A and B are shown apart, each in its own frame.
Chain A
Amino acid sequence: MHVFADPTNLDAYLSGFLWILKLTGASAVLALVLGVLLAAFRVSPVPVLRGFGAAWVNIFRNTPLTLIIFFCYFGLYTTLGLTLSDDLDLNNYWLGVVGLSVYTAAFVCEAVRSGVNTVPAGQAEAARAIGLTFFQTLRIVILPQAGRAVVAPLGSVLIALCKNATIVGTIGLIEASSVMKDLINSNGDAVIAIFAVFAGTFAALLIPTGYFFGWLANRLAVKR
């Protein structure tokens, strides 16, 4: 473990994972908001909204994330001149967040939509029968129940998002996988050890996340 005994390397390792956490955190919030909105669109009675939701899911779910992240950099930033921060790292970070969010939102949308389908039709009928509007019915009756049903699948989406965050390394943000590559390049004698530390760190972050979501899903389950 001489590699991580060097304070410079240790700092790089820590800052790499800090970027991963920041990417995951911001993208998770944005993808959740966007995904729930898209799911609402997809179950709405308005054809234009349904079409928009379907188009979003079909485009972003079926495009490789690497391409989306590249497009954020070369398309949005280099070609279209969209600058999200004057700081180079922060600009790459936010471009990465945009790419991760629009991509992950498609998966959140589909998870939430499948959750909506687990809510018996009678719940919506009862809500309409007392005079709630379509969006009130969705917000007060359907989504809270659908949300509880999709806690576990959303946990999987979050775990995938955290790992996908490494792709932002391809546009120059020195996140964990980029740090690992650099360390391997300069420490050819400790490749396996470096790899094990990075993989182990992801596992240490994500295995408890998975259990936490499993526990939460049981706790929040709606009894029928």
Chain B
Amino acid sequence: MTTGEPLIVLDGVNKWFGPLHVLDDVSLSVGRGEVVVVIGPSGSGKSTLCRTINRLEPINSGTITFDGTPLPAEGKALAKLRSEVGMVFQSFNLFAHKTILENVTLGPVKVRGEKPAAARERGLALLDRVGIANQAEKYPAQLSGGQQQRAAIARALAMQPKAMLFDEPTSALDPEMVGEVLEVMTSLARDGMTMVVVTHEMGFARHAANRVIFMADGKLVEDAPPAEFFANPRSERAKDFLSKILTH
């Protein structure tokens, strides 16, 4: 592994949904161990940006490089890349017909060819790490939203990813469950995981992020350390956004 070189590099990325220019010439690089929080009004393209990094959304132009290699187009190479990038979704997306533990062991066994017993042991350890070891044999629908999202994080971690993408991981949660998910994410950040986090949780951005990216209308408007961004946003767009969310 080379150090110093950034892990994720987006260069001049453009994407359209029909006539809608959702990503407008976006360039961004994320270093190893860096935690980048992406914020912005809804419809600004931040979720799309997050999803392009493992090619759940293909892009129209520009390049995305992960760990020194441009994203493969389709097929086995893309599947391999995705297995190295953990993804956590707003709506959890746990496999509804599998138990929590099966959700966590599926990838290691089917993608990596790990022995089921070994995967199980590691899966239980991961569930323990996110605080839901006692839910291992239950089905997703039997868990609270917060527990499901922690299971989803464990499922992503089970692949031992080089980076983790979080697409609004707490937006679908009841308020009292947001804390337990953010806690897990904060501990991941502390352990040096490279993370790209799309969120509306400004507290998390302040204390866990190395950098805050502010997006509006598909453009990357600001890129600054959190203390600087929250104290002195440079653009009008960011000032306006912050005044709306921080005053109440």
Give the interface of A toward B (CB within 8 A): 45, 120, 122-123, 125-133, 136, 140-141, 144-145, 148, 222-224
Contacts and interface: CB of A to CB of B under 8 A. Distances in A.
Contact of B79 (A133, A140, A141, A223): A133
A205 B128 CA distance: 51
B150 interface: no
A126 B79 contact: no
B94 A126 contact: yes
B76 interface: yes
Question: Sorted from nearest, which 9 A-B pairs have the closest CB atoms?
Answer: A131-B83, A126-B93, A223-B141, A122-B93, A130-B107, A129-B87, A131-B111, A131-B82, A222-B96
Chain B CB count within 10 A is highest, among A45, A128, A129, A223, for: A129
Interface residues of B, number: 33
Contacts of B110: 132, 136, 140
A133 B54 CA distance: 14
A122 B82 contact: no
B76 A130 contact: no
Contacts of B80: 131
Nearest to B81: A131
Contacts of A123: 93, 95-96
Given A122-B89, A136-B110, A140-B106, A129 B95 contact: no
Interface string B88-130: 0101111111000000001100110000000000000000000
A148 B82 contact: no
B82 A222 contact: no
Contacts of A45: 74
